[in-house]
Amino acid sequence: MSRTLTIDNTRALDLIERENETEPSCACGSWTEPVWRDGAVWLECSTLARAQASGRSRLLASLMSIQSATATGAGKTHTRRRLVDTGVMA
């Protein structure tokens, strides 16, 4: 017997809000925001969402990521973390 983990909309919203409050900004200094992409809700750096708009923006986001990693010395990249799979929502 296979069990599927389900989460209701209220719990999903609560999880998304808590995660966004926990990590309101990326290591690069830009804010983070919840976005729906690829069948899931992600918490990601706002520069990544803008980078989806054009090739020029993607290039700029990549350069900012490299600059941020160099400045912090920790090799950090932009925040992008899966929060909720929309396929498991009830």
Quote the pLDDT of residue 36: 87
Beta-carbon contacts of 78 under 8 Å, excluding residues fewer than 6 positions away, are: 26, 27, 28, 30, 44, 45, 47, 48, 61, 64, 65, 68
* pLDDT at residue 78 greater than cutoff 50: yes
2-6, 8-12, 29-33: which range is least confident on average? 2-6
Which of 54, 50, 19 minimizes the C-alpha distance to 34? Answer: 19
pTM above 0.75, yes or no: no
Q: Which residues pair with 43 in a beta bridge?
A: 34, 81
Mean pLDDT of 28-43: 88
Summarize pLDDT for 21-31 with one digit per residue, the tens.
Answer: 999 999 888 99
CA 85 to chain centre: 13
Percent of the chain with pLDDT over 70: 58
* pLDDT at residue 56 greater than cutoff 70: no
